Amino acid sequence: MPITSTGIATGLDVESLVSSLVNAELGPVEKNIITRKSSFESKITSYGQVKSLLSEFQTVSKSIGTLSDFTALTATNSDDKVLDITTSATAIENDYNISVASLATRQSLSSSSAATTADVLGTGSLTFRVGKVVGGTFSAKEGTTATTIQIDASNNSIAGIRDSINSADAGVSAAVIYDGTGYRLVITANETGSEDIIDLVVDDDDGVDNNTAGLSQLSYLADDASGQVLTQEQAGLDADLSINGLQIFSTSNQLANVVQGLTLDLKQTGSTSIKVARDLEKAEAAVTDFVSGYNGLVKKLNDLTAYDPDKKEDSVLTGDSTVRGLLSSLRSLMNDQVENVVEGFSSLAGLGITTTVTDGTLSVDAAKLTAALKADPVDVATVFARLGRSSNANLAFESATSVTTSGRYTVNLTGATSGSAVGSAFTETNNQFRFDGNRNLTMTLDVDGAGPQTITFNTDFRNADFGTEVESFRSALQTAINTSFPANQVTVTASGTTNISYTIASNSTGTGSSVSISSAVRAGGESALGFDTSSVTAGVNASATIDGAAATVDGSAILGIDGTASEGLRLSILGAATSISGATLDYTIGVGSKLDDLITQLLADDGLLDARIDGLESTIDDLDEQLLSLDRRSESLEKRYRNQFTTLETLISQLTNTQNFLSAALTGFVEPLDFKK
């Protein structure tokens, strides 16, 4: 580091003088830059607060922007010991008097007593089915299959059979219970009710399947008392109840579809009263929370832009155009009329919610709001939420997005159809339904493109009644096809009285639905029941239009069309409807939804607030660059002043040297007239 020696010749404090001169020239500029930078940094902090406030309020605006707060129902139960009740959005206001006479029970069967759990019963097989007995005949429950369990030396004890049953997924469970004198195997249906009766067929290795010896001890033929060796301890009974006097039987103690929108869980016998009513308290709370949240937002935004007359001080964002514009937009939305209102309310003022002129906050006339909610909560929801009202009971508004335009839309739906094969008509002859000996019927067909399967009928369906023959074969044909195609089920129907035609229709719909018969051959030259000359119809996908333009059908929903006013619209198809013609949907956008959209735009990465913050950060970067430039200028100026003082020092030093030289030289001269002394 160089040694600074300025001031030696003159005795001046050159360093202080240089510093003062530099500060006098550059100090005001630096102070101005630092002040501006600090101001911009404070604004960035304040804008961050604005974003936080908006984000916090958006939670409230999103909540009130949905219909659920206004259509919520509450159910009161006079005796929750009898049953529990839950409601869904589809429930309706009503009163229900419910009397439970009996609960649904699970059938339970027990074996004879054994001395130990290791006692051996026998070997063979157990085949379980569950189903119902109608007219003395057992039929398996739809969707279930028989389960066969092999019993041998490894599992033929009471405990071993219990474990084998429990691991077989046979629709039943097993337990070994000690009754005080011995051990009994107890077999219980997994489900309650009369449609889960146990049918247990024993194939005993001792050759006798329904006696009290060997494995036959476990026989229980549901429709044959002679084959019921097990003892029924509890019958599988349906629940018996009445709702407003109407008697109802249910296989389950949970009734989900008996009363619209209600699920009843039966607990014990007895009577109770249910009242389903609108949850006005929830709706009022939603509106109150919205007003409170909005007022909190406005007050805090006002504080960020306020001027303090006492201190005569501005706030950081006083006069800020961005926040002024935001407040203006909020107030404008609060006073907006909701477009496309079918009936009822169209503004906050109509609900008793008004704006205070002085500060822009909202006030609520509680009595007026309560009266509006009691009159029609859905009309109130129209003012706040995205809401669509359909003219067709099978079409419902589900949701929409910020790009969906309010207005009236006309909707049409043509449902998906099933693929089918229709046999040509035939008339009655003597041996048409005799498929034995040389009259077998062999059919090769395909369902839903799963691959061809060949089915042969070799049973005699003849009956004195032609109609019975037709129905018996129809039932057998459907069972045979569904057995061959377990994942691709069909429904077989017969039409006509004297000229009969069978139709095989896939249970699926759409373009993937199909039934094709590649061959139908009857031995002995008998009639192939029209299947050899069948006609095929392919399945068709569902289609829909919105305002005449093709829309997308997605399962049970119709979707709006991109690039049009309906973009973002999602409508629900109810009741498995297959046709909707000329339905209208009136779509409105309430205040809460508009606020949510506005805040989403403001808080977006490319939104107004981030753009403002980005601009301020860019300006701060420029100011930092100016400060660096000022530092460089300061160094250069300091160097120039120091050089000037150094030059001055050198000059003064030279002058001093000259002075000293002259003084010394003059000292040697004789003063004038000195000789006269």
Span 125-137, pLDDT tens digits: 999 999 999 888 9
Residue 658: pLDDT over 90: no
Q: Specify the higher pLDDT residue, 645 or 108.
A: 108
Confidence of residue 121 (pLDDT cuts 50, 70, 90): very high
Of 206, 234, 262, which residue constitutes the final position of a domain? 234
Please tell me the predicted confidence (pLDDT) of residue 41: 86
Report for 6-15, 18-27, 515-524: range of highest mean pLDDT: 515-524
**What is the per-residue pLDDT for 251?**
95
Q: In this predicted structure, what is the pLDDT of residue 632?
A: 85
Residue 51 falls inside a structural domain: yes
Residues 385-389 have a mean pLDDT of 88
Q: Residue 451: its pLDDT value, please?
A: 94
422-480 pLDDT per residue, tens:
999 988 877 788 888 788 899 999 999 999 999 998 888 888 788 888 999 999 999 99
Contact 531, 517 (CB under 8 A): yes
Number of folded domains that form the chain: 4
DSSP notation for 192-254: -STT-EEEEEEEETTS-SSSSSGGGGG-B-TT-GGGB-SEEEE----EEEEETTEEEEESSSE
Q: Is residue 559 part of a domain?
A: no
- Domain membership of residue 78 (yes or no) is yes
pLDDT value, residue 165? 97
Short-list 379, 409, 412, 382, CA closest to 394: 412
Is residue 573 assigned to a domain? no
Q: What is the pLDDT of residue 22?
A: 72
Q: Is residue 438 part of a domain?
A: yes
Do both 366 and 427 map to the same domain?
no
Q: Same domain, yes or no, for 283 and 271? A: no
The tally of CA atoms less than 13 A away on the side-chain side of residue 51 is 18
The pLDDT of 553-569, averaged and rounded, is 92
Q: Where is 382: in which H helix or E strand?
A: helix 377-384
> Is the per-residue pLDDT at 386 higher than 50?
yes
CATH number of the domain residue 477 falls in: 2.60.40
The residues, ordered by sequence, that sit 6+ positions from 509 with a Cβ below 8 Å of its Cβ are: 415, 416, 417, 418, 539, 541, 542
- As a whole number, the mean pLDDT across the chain is 88
Q: Is 662 part of a structural domain of the chain?
A: no
Q: Which of 69-83, 182-196, 508-522 has the highest mean pLDDT?
A: 182-196
Domain boundary among 506, 522, 537: 537
Instruction: Give the model confidence (pLDDT) of 307-344 as tens digits.
Output: 888 888 888 888 888 888 988 999 998 888 887 667 77
Segment 530-541 shows an average pLDDT of 91
Output the pLDDT for position 1: 38
Same domain, 129 and 230: yes
Same domain, 243 and 330: no
Q: Is the pLDDT of residue 672 over 70?
A: no
Task: Specify whether 424 is located in the same domain as 436.
Answer: yes
Q: Rounded CA gap, 64 and 59, in Å?
A: 9
Tell me how crowded residue 388 is: count the other CB atoms within 10 A of its CB: 22
Are residue 516 and residue 502 in the same domain, yes or no?
yes
537-551 mean pLDDT? 93
Q: Residues 245, 268: one domain? A: yes
- C-beta of residue 500 within 8 angstroms of C-beta of residue 474: no
Query: Considering the domain boundaries, does residue 396 fall inside one?
Result: no
Query: What are the pLDDT digits (tens) for 42-58?
Result: 888 888 899 999 999 99
Domain that holds residue 444: 420-537
Q: Is the pLDDT of residue 183 over 50?
A: yes
The fraction of the chain above a pLDDT of 70, given in percent, is: 96
- Measured CA to CA, the distance from residue 74 to residue 244 in angstroms comes to 19
What is the tens place of the pLDDT at every residue in 212-222? Answer: 889 999 999 99
Q: Rounded mean pLDDT of 362-382?
A: 90
Residue 7, pLDDT score: 55
Final residue in a domain of this structure, among 518, 537, 556: 537
Is a pLDDT exceeding 90 seen at residue 176?
yes
Residues 271 and 373 in one domain: no
Please give the average per-residue pLDDT across 574-581, as a whole number: 87
Task: Identify whether 405 is part of a domain.
Answer: no
Q: What is the pTM of this model?
A: 0.63
Confidence of residue 262 (pLDDT cuts 50, 70, 90): very high
Instruction: Note whether 305 and 258 are same-domain residues.
Output: no
Let me know whether 307 and 274 are in one domain: no
pLDDT at residue number 673: 57
Q: Which two tokens stand for residue 211?
A: 């006696």
Structure confidence at residue 660 as a pLDDT band (50, 70, 90): confident
In this structure, are 285 and 343 located in the same domain?
A: yes
Distance, CA of 206 to CA of 211 (rounded, Å): 10
Check whether residue 300 and residue 375 sit in a common domain. yes
